[in-house]
Structure 1
Amino acid sequence: MGNESLDSTVNKIRLGIVLLIALLPFPIIQIFHSSLYFESRIPPYLLFHNIAESFSIFVSMSIFGVGWFTYPQSKDRHTLFLGTVFLGIALMDMMHMLAYAGMPDFVTSNSPNKSTQYWIIVRIYAALCFCISAFLPNENNSGRLRWVFLIFPLLVSLVSFIVITFYPSLVPITFSATEGLTPFKRNSEFLAMGLLIFAMIAYWFRIRKYGWDPNKYYLYAFVFCILSELVFAVYTTVFDIYNILGHIYKIVSFYLIYKGVFISSINKPYKQLLDTNNLLKEEIIEHGRVRHDLAESLSEKEALIREIYHRSNNTLQVIGSLIFLQAETYPENKSVRLIAQRTQDRIHAISLVHRLLFAERDLSSISVRKYVSELADYVLRANEDSSRDVNLTVDVEDKKILMDVAIPIGLILSEFLSNTMKYAFQDSSSGNISISFFEDPSGRYVLNYSDDGVGMPKDYDFKNSTSLGIQLVQGVSEIQLAGKISFRTGPNFYCAIDFPIDIYKKRV
């Protein structure tokens, strides 16, 4: 409340200063009356009048152009209305200028009464429209109002032209050769003054909603408009300094209104655009800063995750080595050594995933082809028999799989390869192993493993098997991979496992 009161006081002071500046010519003329007061001759005054009115017409058309052609972008109904109002002012001011005594006849004979009738109509029209504009919101509700606003001033101008040109008796006389300006003319000027004072008060209250800056030029303009009407209501001769001062006031007021319309229609949108651009620049800078911080944080987390993978791999390798060393203390116990070897194979299947993740840019997934190839090579080397020649065929699609899928696949393949090398080729000097992995048309992964060894007994019950290896394969396939597993009994071992692709989601 304190700031609003202060702003209101400052605005009143500004308006008061403009009023003092506008009133300043009156005491100067009175003080230096003998030096400044004059009555012009008709030709020079006519030249001045035409220049002043031409300037007013030019400014009025500029106001119309700015208000009308910027409306599609600004959507400012208040400015649009003022622009179309000044189209009517420009047309009727032009009629007033062309109908002035001393100018070539404008359709019908020119006379002081004819030009003054145009003058009175346009002054009352302008003042009344200023009053209406004070209550128009800036916001647009309907595009059709644009054409309504345009038709109204054109219609007023047309009616004024027809009535004054062809039916002048319908309008009261404003000037006579015997008495000069008539009471109707003077009272009409006072009526226009009253309307302008009302418009000025209404615009003052408009400031509360739309602010000082968009409305200050209209308030300043009304000050000069009111004084202009006052001069034209009380001057004694058409050619004296007060009449000239009135035209100057009119020019100044039109210029101020033009500036207000220009600011509302052009400066304000551009200022909003510049403000928005500045905000966007600040946001871009802030986003860049945040992105840089996130990149640093992500880099640190990637380094940390890679370190975790590296240490996990090393830890698993150490555990496998410890188990193998512990088994070495029982050199005569083949079962212990076998358990140690199988456990070490399983540990390697897990640690290999961490080693590959550590080497990859993607910290969540690894190449299934590379993983299967390296795992198979390791298991075959760890269980190789110099007297046996084993041929391995790997047909694996080059896909990326998550570590949550890779580890179960590694445990399954490690178990199958170890069993094949231990039991499948006992009575032969060679053998063949085949591994395939692909995505089937139904959107599931399929893992096939087979060898041409002795296979499993025809009546072997895989579901109720007591073998730890078989139990591990079934548990991993059905629980961890949520898949389906099928075995083939008899010679030439074969197992097929299919499971959903999207069972796990990416987490890193």
Structure 2
Amino acid sequence: MDQETDRHWINIFAAFFVASLPILIIQVFHPSVYFESKIPPYLVFHNIAESFSIIVSMSIFGVGWFTYAQSKDKHTLFLATAFLGIALIDMMHMLGYSGMPDLLTPNSPNKSTLFWITVRFFAAISFLMSAFIPKENGLLKWKSWTLLAPILVSAFTFVTVTYYPDLLPATFSPEAGLTNFKKVSEFVIIFILILALVAYWFRIPKFGWDHTKYYIYAFVFCISSELVFAIYTTVFDIYNVLGHVYKIVSFFLIYRGVFISTINSPYRNVLETNEKLSKSLAEKENLIREIYHRSNNTLQVIGSMIYLQAEAYPDSQEVKTVVYRTQDRIQAISLVHRLLFSGQDLSSVPIKQYISDLLNYTLQANANSSCQLKLNMDVEDKKVLFDVVIPIGLILSELLNNSIKYAFPEASSGNISITFRERQDGRFHLTYSDDGIGMKENYNFKDCSSLGIQLVKGISESQLSGKIHFKTGPKFHCEIDFPINIYRKRV
């Protein structure tokens, strides 16, 4: 045997030792500790003990029955329905006890003991059968039918013991005490419980010690309970008290086993899955940030390569203009990747911060301009998907560069205004204007040859699916409105 198996055996022997210790103490110190209780205080104890057992049994039934749709655990469902029958017959045993008001027919020790023997046989056989039922094997279409056996057994027991006790062997007589049938029955029950313990031992390799140990411990205390019930002399002595204590402990251990199988284990699996998902998401977030960082670096490299290529044409103003404008457009895209890399949200960018950074970059890039520009920005402080932000950045970059270069040819100062708002009709509204010379009254924006205007118009209509409107005459003015939901969040 390996070390793990040895530990399991040690734990089982330890459970047997703990369970047998009170019996040994009573045997050794019998004259000092043995007692026979009077009926009233014993009834209080008995009712409390049995009520607790019934509550635990119904709890086992409730947990197993109502979690089956999620757990699909046939083993737990079988035990749950068995404990419904155990709870019902235990209730009959409690109500049929001597000293309690008569349960339809006169109560007697024999009556309550018949209920006791029946429920113990039913419990032991159910435990043994449950050892051969798998934990998870799909949903049962006819789950309600599993209630049939325990209800029929309970009903048959109630009718037979209550109205036809003469058909059953006697379990207790006032003259002789426990009958041989009662004592032999307890040992037969013990034998069935030992078989159940052995059967559960063979479940350990497949289902694990943690899922099996509570049932094995419960059977140890069930065996101890049956043992003391086989040797007590009256229904009110210390052995009877100890037997009920063992029963409470065993039922509680089974409840723990059912609860762990149907509640703790699934939640533990969910937590472990969540941890794995969180770790995976963190790794993906880091990967995406690295992609944004490398994309930003790649864009900067492309801009530098274009600039180096342009140095081969030092006297060509047209080449320089193309290079500078291309670098501005690259920078408009690069700023988005920079903000995505530094932020927590990998899909959206704070539009107000982005437009502010873009304007600052553009003004610094044109710092040698003789015109002093004042920027008026009215931008809603919210996050916008980067699929939308990049087209907005390219549009603003074109318009701002056009204003700097062409709107104020002789002026010493000028004003540029930008507004960006979300309207109630589910669309964004972007406005750009300056107080410069504007556009000619008859300027044809549809057939214009300006690359900047063509880019602004093409991006607005194709990438943003928006509507664009230019104002001709003094003071350039451009309005663009486009739907909010043209892109979906992907990260």
Q: TM-score scaled to structure 2, two decimals?
A: 0.66
Q: Secondary structure at the match of 2:311?
A: helix
Q: Is the 8 A contact 1:53 1:93 kept in 2?
A: yes
**CA shift for structure 1 position 284:** 3.2
Equivalent residue letter for 1:57: I
Whether 1:144 aligns to 2:113 is no
| CA deviation vs aligned residue, 1:287-343 (integer Å, no higher than 9, x gap) | 33223322222221121112122223333x34xx5xxxxxxxxxxxxxxxxxxxxxx
Q: Is the 8 A contact 1:397 1:437 kept in 2?
A: no
Q: Is the 8 A contact 2:69 2:139 kept in 1?
A: no
More deviation in 79-88 or 286-295? 286-295
Whether 1:249 aligns to 2:260 is no
Q: Is the 8 A contact 2:78 2:146 kept in 1?
A: yes
Taking the aligned partners of 2:249 and 2:273, their CA distance within structure 1 comes to 34
Is the alpha carbon distance of 1:245 and 1:437 closer, same or farther for their aligned partners in structure 2, counting shifts above 3 Å? closer
Q: Is the 8 A contact 1:96 1:116 kept in 2?
A: yes
Mark the runs of 5 or more structure 1 residues left unpaired by the alignment.
322-343, 375-391, 407-435, 439-508
**CA shift for structure 1 position 273:** 2.3
**CA shift for structure 1 position 253:** 0.5
| Correspondence for 1:173 | 170
1:115 to 112, 115, 119: 112
Is the alpha carbon distance of 1:395 and 1:114 closer, same or farther for their aligned partners in structure 2, counting shifts above 3 Å? same
Equivalent residue letter for 1:85: A
- Percent identical across equivalent pairs? 50
| Correspondence for 2:327 | 358
| CA deviation vs aligned residue, 1:5-24 (integer Å, no higher than 9, x gap) | 22111121111111111111
1:36 to 9, 12, 33: 33
| Correspondence for 1:491 | none
Taking the aligned partners of 2:102 and 2:24, their CA distance within structure 1 comes to 39
Whether 1:104 aligns to 2:73 is no
Q: Is the 8 A contact 2:97 2:107 kept in 1?
A: yes
Q: Secondary structure at the match of 1:64?
A: helix
1:135 to 132, 136, 143: 132
Q: Secondary structure at the match of 2:99?
A: coil
Q: Secondary structure at the match of 1:239?
A: coil
Equivalent residue letter for 2:220: V
Larger of the two Rg values belongs to structure: 1
| CA deviation vs aligned residue, 1:269-290 (integer Å, no higher than 9, x gap) | 2222222232233233323322
Taking the aligned partners of 2:310 and 2:79, their CA distance within structure 1 comes to 80
| Correspondence for 1:20 | 17
Q: RMSD of aligned C-alpha atoms?
A: 3.6
Whether 1:282 aligns to 2:251 is no
Whether 1:156 aligns to 2:125 is no
Is the alpha carbon distance of 1:437 and 1:20 closer, same or farther for their aligned partners in structure 2, counting shifts above 3 Å? closer
More deviation in 285-294 or 263-272? 285-294
**CA shift for structure 1 position 154:** 1.6
Q: Secondary structure at the match of 1:24?
A: helix
Q: Secondary structure at the match of 1:272?
A: helix
Taking the aligned partners of 1:167 and 1:399, their CA distance within structure 2 comes to 108
| Residues 212-251 of structure 1 aligned to structure 2 (within 5 Å) | 212-251=209-248
Mark the runs of 5 or more structure 2 residues left unpaired by the alignment.
335-389, 403-441, 460-491
| Correspondence for 1:301 | 298
Q: Is the 8 A contact 1:395 1:437 kept in 2?
A: no
1:89 to 86, 89, 100: 86
**CA shift for structure 1 position 257:** 0.9
**CA shift for structure 1 position 179:** 3.2
Q: Secondary structure at the match of 2:100?
A: coil
Equivalent residue letter for 1:98: L
| Correspondence for 2:204 | 207
| CA deviation vs aligned residue, 1:437-485 (integer Å, no higher than 9, x gap) | 99xxxxxxxxxxxxxxxxxxxxxxxxxxxxxxxxxxxxxxxxxxxxxxx
Is the alpha carbon distance of 1:144 and 1:437 closer, same or farther for their aligned partners in structure 2, counting shifts above 3 Å? closer
| Correspondence for 1:271 | 268
Q: TM-score scaled to structure 1, two decimals?
A: 0.64
Q: Secondary structure at the match of 2:135?
A: coil
Taking the aligned partners of 1:168 and 1:399, their CA distance within structure 2 comes to 109
| Correspondence for 2:415 | none
Q: Is the 8 A contact 1:174 1:185 kept in 2?
A: yes
Q: Is the 8 A contact 1:203 1:215 kept in 2?
A: yes
**CA shift for structure 1 position 59:** 1.3
Q: Secondary structure at the match of 1:215?
A: helix
1:55 to 47, 52, 61: 52
Taking the aligned partners of 2:31 and 2:458, their CA distance within structure 1 comes to 113
| Correspondence for 1:262 | 259
| Correspondence for 1:505 | none
| Correspondence for 1:65 | 62
Is the alpha carbon distance of 1:176 and 1:144 closer, same or farther for their aligned partners in structure 2, counting shifts above 3 Å? farther
Equivalent residue letter for 1:44: P
Taking the aligned partners of 1:215 and 1:273, their CA distance within structure 2 comes to 21
1:291 to 284, 288, 293: 288
**CA shift for structure 1 position 398:** 9.6
Equivalent residue letter for 1:30: Q
**CA shift for structure 1 position 191:** 1.7
More deviation in 96-105 or 44-53? 44-53
Taking the aligned partners of 1:80 and 1:56, their CA distance within structure 2 comes to 19
**CA shift for structure 1 position 175:** 2.2
| CA deviation vs aligned residue, 1:191-212 (integer Å, no higher than 9, x gap) | 2111111111111111111111
Q: Secondary structure at the match of 1:101?
A: coil
Equivalent residue letter for 1:154: I
**CA shift for structure 1 position 140:** 3.9
Q: Is the 8 A contact 2:183 2:231 kept in 1?
A: yes
Equivalent residue letter for 1:286: E
Q: Is the 8 A contact 2:61 2:81 kept in 1?
A: yes
Equivalent residue letter for 2:34: Y
Whether 1:9 aligns to 2:27 is no
Taking the aligned partners of 1:195 and 1:13, their CA distance within structure 2 comes to 22
